[in-house]
Amino acid sequence: MTRPSDSLSYYRASANPHAEHPRLEGEHVADVCVVGAGFTGLSAALELAERGFDVAVVEAETVGWGASGRNGGQICTGFSTGLSKLEAQVGKEDARKCWALAEEAKTLMRRRIERYKIDCDVKWGYIHVAPKRGDVGYLKEMQDEYEALDYGDTELLSKEQLEENLGSTLYQGGLRDAGAGHLHPLNYCLGLADAAVSHGARIFEHSKATHVETGANPEVRTEHGVVRAKFVVVAGNAYLGKLIPKLYSKIMPVGSFILATEPLGENRARSLIRSDDAICDTNFVVDYFRLSGDHRLLFGGRCSYSTIEPKDLGGFMRPRMLKVFPQLDDVSLDYCWGGYIGITMNRIPDMGRLTNTVYYAHGFSGQGVLLTGMYGKLIAEAIAGQAERFDLLSRFKHTSFPGGPIRTPMLVLAMLYHRMLDMVG
């Protein structure tokens, strides 16, 4: 897997002032060692530190360097599979409990932002848009499923209603979700790190884990040091690589790319998305976009299963933006960057125990901005001795991606097939 673009992202350029953390050197002891300083790892670290545990976090790069600091910043409702695939594995009653946990994740996010005064430009409001007439029925099915779950925060929008809000004629209709939204993901991640440190957690940056001992006496080794702990939380997700062989085949890193325009000014920006909602289409290969706090358009999509990043990201992404908003032809791009999300075969996040002392969660399949917080919290609950909710979400069965060493070419072919379907209107 090639490294994602290290070119400056808009999020890095607009990051809040934040602490730099030392490299791990020498021997350290902790109650829990967390591998990965992204949303999942920091959520677990914060929850554990709040409960009085001694926590050490080791991060290969810097806080939020991976998907947590690169993503589209979209706060999505529920699971990307919908309810039916959850029910197929755990039954109707427990699937509803899983849904309730996803909703609780919104409350958890709101509470953490408010309690720790995290300045991350959070906004509420989200619209699913249908590029094809046939997808309008899918939006109605989505709304029906939400209403069956007593979730009443949605409104179907006709093409005309959608165009009153969105400065594009591309879409055939929409479903607005008032309970979802968007934020500055890196600043949220940095805020979680500060919160964890305020409760005594130690974070070590530039400290890539090179070995994880998963037995009765777990430890995490880096090039320059070691943390010996009672428990380990593995939260590397798409950036974990082959560190844990048992986890490697369970998820696939998928590239996604984002551009940020120059500042448009408030009036021009709001002419694109008057409600300041996050937008995502219903294609298999999705486009997603929103406005930043300083009135730029952030436009993402064009996912890649090859893990090879285009040389000219701006040239790669700009035509997609102009297809939606041709009126931006005169606008320059200030930032373009890429990164990886982790997906599972069934698009349900994978969480569990490798041993009695080592926990993991990964493969959030596009829903990671929100679900990671709850999954990290549930790992912390389990370590603290309250495993009922953890055990519920760890019941889902996950198969390995087929193909072994040729799985990436196979998935590239599959992606080409789905792109062709997206083009059929």
99-114 pLDDT, tens digit per residue, is 999 999 999 999 999 9
The answer on pLDDT for 6 being more than 90 is no
Q: State the pLDDT confidence band at 8, using cuts at 50, 70 and 90.
A: confident
Sequence spans of domains, the chain = 10-71+186-248+346-403
Nearest Cα to 394, choosing from 12, 101, 41? 101
Say if CB 388 and CB 101 are below 8 A apart.
no
pLDDT value, residue 420: 37
How far is Cα 57 from Cα 224, in angstroms, rounded to an integer? Answer: 15
Give the contacts of 413 (CB within 8 A, at least 6 positions apart): none
Dihedral, CA of residue 298, residue 184, residue 204 and residue 374, to nearest 10: -120
DSSP state of 353: E
The pTM score is 0.93
How far is Cα 231 from Cα 35, in angstroms, rounded to an integer? Answer: 11
The answer on pLDDT for 304 being more than 80 is no
How far is Cα 201 from Cα 311, in angstroms, rounded to an integer? Answer: 39
Mean pLDDT of 44-59: 98
- Percent helix, strand, coil in the chain (nearest 5)? 40, 25, 35
pLDDT value, residue 3: 53
Q: State the pLDDT confidence band at 302, using cuts at 50, 70 and 90.
A: confident
- In CATH, 10-71+186-248+346-403 is 3.40.50.2300: no
